[in-house]
Chain A
Amino acid sequence: MRNSILERCFNALLTNGAFLALVMYLIIFIIYGISQGSYAVSVYGITVLFNNSIVIAIAAVAETFIILMGGFDLSVAGIVVLTNTLIAVQQGAGVGGALLCLIIAIGVGGVIGCINGFLVSRIGLQSIAATLGTSILCSGIALLVLAQPGGYVPDEIAYTLTDSIGPIPVAAIIALLIGLISWILLRKTNFGAGIYALGRDRTAAELSGIATRSVEFRAYVMAGIFSGLAGFMLSAQTGTGDPHLSNSFILLTFAAVAIGGVSFDGGHGSVIGSIIGAGILALLQKTLFSVGVSSFYTGIFQGSIMLLAMLVGSLSLIISKRRAVS
């Protein structure tokens, strides 16, 4: 039976979280465009939009790896803040300094990711609890590295990464790269297939010969590395170090993943959705501001959008189940 294009779109809207997120983004962007006029589509305006969402976007990609397996990673915030303080206290400058910062970010993320992976896949701890522990450990070390906000981030990072090349914002290129890398990892490798299989049915994955422990371990390492990169981008944004990351960071990360249509039961969703979800959160903030809603009430809208996305998610699950039955 052939469906009309309209019907297909409607189906995709209900069953494909990333598509729904994209539609939401476009709707909010239209409101934003109407209230802001030409600024909304200027190079500067778009660069600001990308810069505001890139940190949460990368953190959300890291989180997506774990949530797709049906786990939770609370250590994203800890890794981000630890990377940020280490980058702020390192003394290198110039391009060498920038490279050193990148190595620090990937190294810190990789090490903490290894610890998480070991605790969860080898010792068998529950992911929420284990990563809560490592997250607290990380923020403690961050406080030892840098007791007060301060320090200095090489200009090469702070300026270049927040600028735009011609009409294209650097942050957009980074988002595209991160999205592409994680998309290849998840969709084109056995490792990625393993992650989805683990999230859908752990026992079945094990029985079909997937090395579940190894997949789980590597997923935590990847999540750690992406979290480190998020910390790297945060340093570029703020240009300084701060051992006290705002409490809302981890909440916004989960919100981005939820809005992006990734199922918290595991096995369904995509990194693209999470990246768009992060974009929606930043765009929403700007739109509410430009429409004249007090910034106090941003949270009400963020929370409601998150719930709405989850509701559509569980609704689509019920619909697809009913169809499978009939």
Chain B
Amino acid sequence: MKNNSVDERFGGRNDGVAGFIKSNKVTVAVYIVTILLYVVTLFVSPSFRNWHHLMLVLVLASFLIVVSYGQGIVILVRGLDLSVGSMITLSGVLVAAWVSQSNENILWAIPLVLLITTFIGMLNGIGATLLRIPPFVMTLSTGIIVFSVVLGFTEGSPHKGNAPRFLNGMMLDHTAGIPNIVYFLILFIFVAVIVQSYSAFGRKLYALGANPKAAHISGLRNNLLTISAFGISGFCCGLVGMMLVGYTDAPTLTMGDPYVMSSIAAVVVGGSSILGGKGNYLGTVGGVLLLTILSTLITAIGLAEGWRTIIQGAIIVMALIMSSVSERNTKIASAQKNISKSVPETQKV
């Protein structure tokens, strides 16, 4: 019984399909809604009924899927990363400027850019832990500072260099009828889930998010864990900046902006608690797919841009209300269980 509840929290290791559904209700619900939405989209727009469109949805979702992993890990340890937008833009601008079309410099440029964004992420973590600045303010400041550096670097004109061929091929070419990025995405999600839900490191993150004081007492190095969580977010932003440049062929100064709010939205819609300590990455991926398919559905119906935004906002609020209600119910249920259990025990004493 006790083991089961622990596994529930980590979102993994359950016996059988029934057990999995039982412990990941929110995740399953998100995927069901996503599939329903996709079916509706196919009904509304017959031209979408093909393999190609399904792949397009995955490519469009790929950016948010990767950013949301970092955002989700940071939220898991009770943080929030508002600097993702600037870090994505920085990565895109740097890759385009340093590599620019040829593949020559790619061997050092890509690792270097990833190193830089990871380092900025870790600076966020250092500020949030050692300097005791609230993550909200810390990441806000680094976001402003990094964007300012990007402005200075590009001198305000976004068109400095183009996408490296390698990144173009990664985002736009197909292998065996499937876009290359989808293979990368599968690999990324596989590794990400292992790290978050099945590794010792991931379990430490959950422990830290659920109760920092208890985690500290049981010997976890909280500061180091938090710093690495922010570092992962920086790393993911580095990846996404490159993916965006590969997809659109040239960086823009605003290309990272939409991902700040939407990554938080995806994590929340995917069933994670914004308070930390709860949620899993597969849920977040479901959240991203839900938001992306919803967006294509709205385009298919031909609604105005405003409606798209309104519906997205409404979905976030609804997801929040649903998860808070279900959380309250489980709390009440477990409290009742505890009461009924504790009565005979006290009689024994």
B-contacting residues of A (Cβ < 8 Å)? Answer: 72, 119, 123-126, 128-130, 132-145, 147, 243, 247-248, 251, 254-255, 258, 264-265, 294, 296-300, 302-304, 306-307, 310-311, 314
Contacts and interface: CB of A to CB of B under 8 A. Distances in A.
Interface of B: 80, 82, 85, 127, 131-134, 136-138, 140-145, 147-149, 151-152, 155-156, 254, 257, 260-261, 264-265, 268, 273-275, 304-314, 316-317, 320-321, 324, 328
Contacts of B307: 140, 144
Top 3 A-B residue pairs of the complex, sorted by shortest distance between their CB atoms? A299-B148, A140-B309, A143-B306
A195 to B, nearest CB: 19
11 contacts: A123-B324, A126-B320, A130-B317, A133-B314, A140-B307, A140-B309, A143-B304, A147-B305, A147-B306, A247-B254, A306-B137
B265 A132 contact: yes
Contacts of A247: 85, 254, 257, 260
Contacts of B324: 123-125
Nearest to A137: B313
Contacts of A303: 140-145, 148
Q: Most chain-A Cβ atoms within 10 A of its Cβ — which of B131, B136, B137, B304?
A: B137
B264 A251 contact: no
Contacts of A142: 306
Nearest to B147: A299
B133 A314 contact: yes
A302 B313 contact: no
A258 B136 CA distance: 11
A258 to B, nearest CB: 5
Nearest to B154: A296
B333 to A, nearest CB: 17
A297 B152 contact: yes
A61 to B, nearest CB: 18
Nearest to A302: B144
B313 A133 contact: yes
Contact of B317 (A133, A264, A294): A133
B304 A147 contact: yes
Given A134-B313, A136-B316, A299-B145, 7 more contacts: A119-B321, A128-B274, A133-B317, A296-B152, A296-B156, A303-B142, A306-B140
B317 A134 contact: yes
B260 to A, nearest CB: 8
B310 A140 contact: yes
Contacts of B268: 129, 132
Nearest to B311: A140
Contact of A306 (B85, B144, B304): B144
A202 to B, nearest CB: 14
